[in-house]
Amino acid sequence: MNMYIAEFIGTMVLIILGNGVVANVVLAKTKGNNSGWIAITTGWCFAVMVAAAITGRVSGAHLNPAVTIALAVNGGLAWNLVAGYIISQMLGAMLGACIVWLFYKNHFEVETDADAKLACFTTGANIKSPVNNFFSEVVATCVFVMAILGITHPDSGFGPMGTYMVASAIWGIGLSLGGTTGYAINPARDLGPRIAHAFLPIPGKGDSDWSYAWIPVLGPIVGGVLAVFIFNLM
């Protein structure tokens, strides 16, 4: 059970810090309002680093169903553990999103833009194109999972620096590949907070954009599995 608790806590922390930086940037009257994409990608980099530092020794700090499935496909995780990992990640993401809402509750109340409120929970495409948006999530996640496989490989030589290298990969992916869909690259990161957005009593929140929700779930899973096959060609 310790690994499931770690995944729950780690994913919760990931969302608190990751969605927290989005809220700080997009919501009205915050200290970080309008500080831009660099702030968001940097915040997500540190979110991954902190969450992984907390949980890595217990669960391996997957914090992401796409990573969990990819590692199982690669033989690095027993398949009987996969469901428990994913459930823990989803629940942690939902709780993390609720905490972000409580933390920024006053700012959610004064913010008038429903899309800005939704952005504090979910990813989304600025130009809606299911094929292109799906492709974006597949490619970004494929790069991410290949980075993880390379960094954590026994022969990589990164050792304790691995956590920082993975966080740096997140930063680079956000800067280079995040401009189309907001780089979910993590089904729990998007679906858990989207569910929270749907049931939380946020004034003027609008809908939760469920027509888009399948893309940041299936895209990262496909990208993660593809990464395993590409990585093992080398």
- Residues of the domain holding 129: 2-229
Residue 233 is predicted with a pLDDT of 96
Task: Judge residue 43's burial from the number of C-beta atoms within 10 Å of its C-beta, 0-12 exposed, 13-18 middle, 19 or more buried.
Answer: buried
Distance CA 119, CA 126 (A): 11
Q: What is the CATH number of the domain that holds 87?
A: 1.20.1080.10
Residue 57 lies in a domain: yes
Residue 154 is predicted with a pLDDT of 87
Residue 93 lies in a domain: yes
Distance CA 181, CA 123 (A): 6
Name the pTM for this structure: 0.96
Residue 234 lies in a domain: no
Q: What is the DSSP letter of 185?
A: -
Residue 54 lies in a domain: yes
Per-residue confidence in pLDDT tens, the chain, 234 aa:
899 999 999 999 999 999 999 999 999 999 999 999 999 999 999 999 999 999 999 999 999 999 999 999 999 999 999 999 999 999 999 999 999 999 999 999 999 999 999 999 999 999 999 999 999 999 999 999 999 999 999 888 888 899 999 999 999 999 999 999 999 999 999 999 999 999 999 999 999 999 999 999 999 999 999 999 999 998
Contact 101, 200 (CB under 8 A): yes
Select from 27, 227, 36 the least CA-distant residue to 137: 227
Residue 28 is predicted with a pLDDT of 97
Residue 216 lies in a domain: yes
Q: What is the DSSP letter of 79?
A: G
Cα 126 → chain centroid: 18
User: Which ranges in 60-113 belong to alpha helices (H)?
Assistant: 65-73, 82-103, 105-110
- Phi, psi angle pair for 30, to nearest 5°: -90, 165
Residue 156 is predicted with a pLDDT of 85
Residue 31 lies in a domain: yes
Domains: count for the chain = 1
